[in-house]
Amino acid sequence: MHKIAVIYGSSRSDRQGIKAAKFINQKLSERDVQIEFIDTQKYPLPFLDKMHKEYPSGSAPEIMEQIHKILKASDGFVIVSGEYNHSIPAVLKNLLDHFQSEYYFKPSAIVSYSAGGFGGMRVAMHLRAVLAELGMPAIPSIFPISNIYSSINQHGIAVDEKYDLHINRFLDEFLWYVNALKVQRQSGMPY
């Protein structure tokens, strides 16, 4: 069974993106996958001092070790991101920056959202560049969610029904890449 980590980064007390994260978690749970949800509120990290790899094995702070284990065991990553001043929320980038080889040769999928009508398309473009650098290139499709205050309710149910339609193709595409790269990793990696 494929293991998928859903990574959501917002530390705001009134955060809205948790609804998008719930929506994605629920839709993924309908698939034959094991999900780990990395929520930056549940896994708070200080601003980067040492990356996980800079600590002697097993001696990083407990939360960092927990995230490391989840990322290392994962076959793919769904990044749920809001758009802060056209870019990546600092708390999300900070979490991503702590790790490196855990991501290698695994695909990612971008779920962006915003309060307005553009669904966080600008952060999606920034994320695509960062995720490629991290070694988890993003699949071609993006899942942008507009009007996050009203389009998804607090239970993670889509009020705007178009999201229920579009999510299936998006997850089909993502899980295809998850499977393809997993098969290829099993036959070896270049480094």
Ligand X SMILES: Cc1cc2nc3c(=O)[nH]c(=O)nc-3n(C[C@H](O)[C@H](O)[C@H](O)COP(=O)(O)O)c2cc1C
* By the rule CB under 6 A, 107 interacts with ligand X: no
Smallest separation (angstroms) from ligand X to the CB of 99: 21
Distance, in Å, from the CA atom of 140 to the CA atom of 68, rounded to the nearest integer, reads: 26
Q: Which long-range contacts (CB under 8 A, 24 or more apart) does 84-90 make?
A: 84/123, 86/122, 86/123, 86/126, 87/122, 87/123, 87/126, 88/9, 88/123, 88/126, 88/127, 88/130, 89/9, 89/10
* By the rule CB under 6 A, 98 interacts with ligand X: no
# chain residues binding ligand X, by CB under 6 A: 15
* By the rule CB under 6 A, 85 interacts with ligand X: yes
* By the rule CB under 6 A, 69 interacts with ligand X: no
Which one, of 118, 131, 145, 121, lies nearest residue 177 by Cα?
A: 131
Q: Which is nearer to ligand X, 17 or 107 (CB)?
A: 17
* By the rule CB under 6 A, 94 interacts with ligand X: no
* By the rule CB under 6 A, 50 interacts with ligand X: no
Distance, in Å, from the CA atom of 149 to the CA atom of 116, rounded to the nearest integer, reads: 9
Distance, in Å, from the CA atom of 125 to the CA atom of 87, rounded to the nearest integer, reads: 9
Distance, in Å, from the CA atom of 62 to the CA atom of 107, rounded to the nearest integer, reads: 26
- Part in contact with ligand X (CB under 6 A); list of ranges 68-76, 82-90, 101-109, 128-136: 82-90
Q: Which is nearer to ligand X, 157 or 180 (CB)?
A: 157
Cα distance between the two ends of the chain? 25
Smallest separation (angstroms) from ligand X to the CB of 83: 4
Distance, in Å, from the CA atom of 188 to the CA atom of 191, rounded to the nearest integer, reads: 9
**Using the rule CB under 6 A, which residue among 36, 39, 75, 83 binds ligand X?**
83
Distance, in Å, from the CA atom of 95 to the CA atom of 52, rounded to the nearest integer, reads: 11
- Part in contact with ligand X (CB under 6 A); list of ranges 39-47, 51-59, 81-89, 132-140: 81-89
Per CB under 6 A, contacts with ligand X among 111-170 are 114-116, 118, 148
* By the rule CB under 6 A, 39 interacts with ligand X: no
* By the rule CB under 6 A, 12 interacts with ligand X: yes
Residues that bind ligand X (CB under 6 A): 10, 12, 15-17, 82-86, 114-116, 118, 148
